[in-house]
Chain A
């Protein structure tokens, strides 16, 4: 549970590149001010494997496989506020560029019929998450409360968004902070 007066925050990356997390770190010295207000649960920065009860969950990346769905569900279950951060989480983004390709044909070509393959086999280890036939933005799988677009969103946009949210204001990003690219 959170220290008194602090909000507990969890973050993760699904089908993403961690670029949004890098942008979060890009708020630089403002991180210290942030840490006075929040403490972290599961994030790539901590060693916590599963998300516990949190005030805010921040997720980058789209949903491309079964494991992504499980993690997303865990976040939704535990976080009072769920935020989709970055183009992939908001729109499917780069991973969703595979959506016009047939998954079966893709797997077949990459693992079975690609010239030069010897004894190719489609990986079937139960530890490997199965891919979905298409990549989806978060809001198509769970209810999402807020969205921060951008690839990645700028550090200033993330800072403005989080400070608004922590202060209890509806976050508003004005010109120059809302960017889709």
Chain B
């Protein structure tokens, strides 16, 4: 495994490596930091000058991403994954253990500058947690023994490149596979099928003459034939929103532009989701194949096309294997010029690595990040299909969507839509974690009941399931016959199981903190609302809550729901909404009063004065 980070490239070298291209700013900052540990003020100044950007702009971008540091950090930066599933696996106690062992306070750098310990949003290792990142490299299955080993390596100042590979070994844990995971496609097969479908219909008949009634979309000439298959398949986006993939591709294909962009959203940040990690590990060829098919459809020899895969920073360890896969595909004529020998079919894919920002999973924020900016969702319209990357027509789809599209290109739309339900064609990958015997990846045809999944994964005494992560839906035991499908329980894939021993207030508090941490801060309702929500929930957690606070939560939810700029702000209210509906006693029983309690701890607010005066009489307390 390659975990190089001991090179110290200069600003000049890194800028040159990226062709002096300011749209690659996030990648440049990542590379600089990977060599230098942090982004020192003179480095930012020099970089801004080299790229012809204002210094404030560069600093603003760097300060947006959690994994970019403008302050000195430890030589070793240990970040414990802080999803609720990590907590259920003991992450908080483990963090405290390591802090104590290495004499460093959470959130601080040790005095000798050797290390820092902190938490980070879900690292996507929920089925083998608790997870952590050391200098960006993922380590699963943390326990005391492994922490002892890590502590020793840190104290010995062992370069990460020399740490035992075993520490970094991440399992795929595929528990159930269906047509996607069991596809058996060889690299290039789907692309060749798409080309063959186009060439078998070289006739001059215009698109308008295609025969729908006879069910022969194959009569459509050129790359549009495969687009028709995608449309016929009823494939819908797997990122959660479920927009029709064929419609999206068609709208993008029809949009005028010099270059059409194909972007794979591998910024799998929704807590509890890790199926894209497995697809990228096991089926990278299928992902790239789907992207290439998309490019074939979008470009069709008329315009140039280019691809990006936006890989979340937490999956940094996948970068080299993915780049190797891309290199192999270039060698095999599956990427680059004249793909599969078809003259003029030119397409290539480059990988951008994120830097710790959940909001970049929103497609327009992702595009902003690809352009080297802060990941702030754009105002829409216009939509990315017409004005996306650099203002050009852009398709952004989830990893799983591209995989499914590759299968459709090969097997046809009818084959695909025969699986699943009428409104939800095909299969869905679920990332199952939490209280069950067999966490991991489960692929089902759409329409499977929650109960079935619970049975298959060995869940017992289940109290609740969080479907599609914090931004999704929390359901209780009375709803386990509901189905995973766009028409019932739509999901991006997360499936977190909570048994009867869990306090649902802890669950919702974890999610509320998550959204406050990940809000981009662009719009008032989300920036201020998520932070206020966090404060209120913490107040209730501290045993100082009152009915007044519950009313304030409702008020904040209303504002965020009505006025937030993007899906993050809208869905940030979902966990609280669901817990209030389904597990209200979990909140009520924590309230101190049914009326009003002060916003802060009155007696605690006197602690400093008590200490300074040495008083402890009755009047020194409230």
The chain A residues found within 8 Å of chain B, CB to CB, are 66, 69-70, 102-104, 107-108, 122-124, 126, 129-134, 136, 140-143
Cross-chain pairs A/B with CB under 8 angstroms, 21 sampled: A66-B606, A69-B602, A103-B609, A104-B612, A122-B613, A124-B613, A126-B615, A126-B617, A129-B619, A130-B610, A130-B615, A130-B619, A131-B606, A131-B609, A133-B608, A133-B609, A134-B605, A136-B599, A141-B599, A142-B598, A143-B596
* Residues on the B chain within 8 Å of A103, using CB: 608-609, 612
Q: Which of A66, A70, A131 has the most CB of B within 10 A?
A: A66
Query: Are A140 and B615 interface neighbours, CB within 8 A?
Result: no
Give me the 9 closest cross-chain CB pairs, A-B, nearest first. A140-B599, A130-B609, A124-B613, A143-B596, A132-B605, A107-B612, A103-B608, A126-B617, A104-B608
CA distance A66 to B599 in the complex (A): 15
- Write the chain A residue with the least CB distance to B602: A69
Query: Are A104 and B611 interface neighbours, CB within 8 A?
Result: yes
* Residues on the A chain within 8 Å of B621, using CB: 66
Option from B600, B612, B614, B619 in Cβ contact (under 8 Å) with A66:
B619
CA distance A134 to B610 in the complex (A): 14
CA distance A141 to B605 in the complex (A): 12
B622 at interface by CB-CB < 8 Å: yes
Please, what's the 1-or-0 string for B579-622, where 1 marks a CB less than 8 Å from any CB in chain A?
00000000000000001101110100111111111110101111
B548 at interface by CB-CB < 8 Å: yes
CA distance A132 to B604 in the complex (A): 9
CA distance A63 to B330 in the complex (A): 70
- Write the chain B residue with the least CB distance to A76: B596
* Residues on the A chain within 8 Å of B619, using CB: 66, 126, 129-130
CA distance A143 to B596 in the complex (A): 6
* Residues on the A chain within 8 Å of B617, using CB: 126
Query: Are A130 and B611 interface neighbours, CB within 8 A?
Result: no
Query: Are B606 and A132 interface neighbours, CB within 8 A?
Result: yes
A150 to chain B, nearest CB (A): 23
CA distance A163 to B211 in the complex (A): 79
- Write the chain A residue with the least CB distance to B617: A126
CA distance A131 to B609 in the complex (A): 6
Q: A66-B621, A103-B609 given; name 8 further pairs at CB < 8 Å.
A: A69-B622, A102-B608, A103-B608, A122-B612, A126-B617, A131-B609, A134-B605, A143-B548
Option from A66, A108, A133, A140 in Cβ contact (under 8 Å) with B598:
A140
* Residues on the B chain within 8 Å of A69, using CB: 602, 622
CA distance A70 to B619 in the complex (A): 10
CA distance A133 to B606 in the complex (A): 6
A42 to chain B, nearest CB (A): 20
CA distance A122 to B600 in the complex (A): 25
Given contacts A66-B619, A124-B615, A130-B615, A143 and B609 within 8 Å (CB-CB):
no
Option from B596, B598, B600, B606 in Cβ contact (under 8 Å) with A130:
B606
* Residues on the A chain within 8 Å of B612, using CB: 103-104, 107-108, 122
B595 to chain A, nearest CB (A): 7
* Residues on the B chain within 8 Å of A129, using CB: 619
Given contacts A130-B613, A133-B609, A143 and B602 within 8 Å (CB-CB):
no
CA distance A76 to B608 in the complex (A): 26
- Write the chain A residue with the least CB distance to B606: A130
* Residues on the B chain within 8 Å of A140, using CB: 598-600
* Residues on the A chain within 8 Å of B613, using CB: 122-124, 130
* Residues on the B chain within 8 Å of A123, using CB: 613
B119 to chain A, nearest CB (A): 26
CA distance A108 to B611 in the complex (A): 11
* Residues on the A chain within 8 Å of B595, using CB: 143
* Residues on the B chain within 8 Å of A134, using CB: 600, 605
B622 to chain A, nearest CB (A): 6
